Amino acid sequence: MSGQTRADNKTEALGQSRWLVFRAGGKKAAIGLEYMVKVLERAELFTVPLSGKEFKGIIYYNDIAVPVLSWEFLNGRKISGKSILILEQNQDLLGVEVDEVSMVEEHRAPKKTSGAGFWVELSKESGLAGLEVERLFETLRKKRAYPEGTGGTDDKENPFGG
């Protein structure tokens, strides 16, 4: 998802960013389009030993073992999906299970939050929340992502919380 157009430049100048909206666990959320690599409609998820509570397993993609995030770690809820979004940040790949991908929307780029969660509010009207991908990757890179029991769920923007 590279290659800038005139429309991209205009979007950035207005402080807008583009988000891929998806549905998972019956709720809508979004991921910044700049992190998207691929939407896999079908991919076999393999459970592997000692993957930790942050990951559900791995998938085979382009000769790489890509870890798939556990929604339970992200939101405290067990969610499975038919499709997998492949995200990339600083050369690390990560899969996120979703039910379906809907459309790309433009929203004002949200400010970075200082809370423990991974979600930012994109639209008050629709209640759409966006995943803070950089924060998520940074957390996963740490030796232990979160102390036992917290799991990053104390996030008021979390669309899956409750």
Instruction: Select the residue interacting with other proteins from 21, 94, 109, 133 (CB under 8 A).
Output: 94
CA distance 81 to 12: 32
* Residue 10 or 141 having the CB closest to other proteins: 141
Buried-exposed string 2-31: b where 16+ CB fall within 10 A, e elsewhere: eeeeeeeeebeeeeebbbbbbebbebebbb
CA distance 52 to 48: 10
CA distance 18 to 10: 12
Check binding of 14 to other proteins (CB under 8 A): no
Name the phi and psi angles at 77, rounded to 5: -125, 140
Check binding of 104 to other proteins (CB under 8 A): no
* Residue 31 or 66 having the CB closest to other proteins: 66
Name the phi and psi angles at 47, rounded to 5: -80, 130
As measured in angstroms, the least distance from the Cβ of 64 to other proteins is 7
Helices (H), strands (E): how many in the chain?
3, 10
Check binding of 46 to other proteins (CB under 8 A): yes
As measured in angstroms, the least distance from the Cβ of 67 to other proteins is 5
CA distance 157 to 41: 27
- Binding string, 47-86, against other proteins, x = CB under 8 A? xxxxxx-xx--x-x--xxxxx-------------------
Residues between 126 and 155 with contacts to other proteins, criterion CB under 8 A: 137, 140-141, 143-144
As measured in angstroms, the least distance from the Cβ of 42 to other proteins is 15
Residues within the interface to other proteins (CB under 8 A): 46-52, 54-55, 58, 60, 63-67, 92-94, 137, 140-141, 143-144
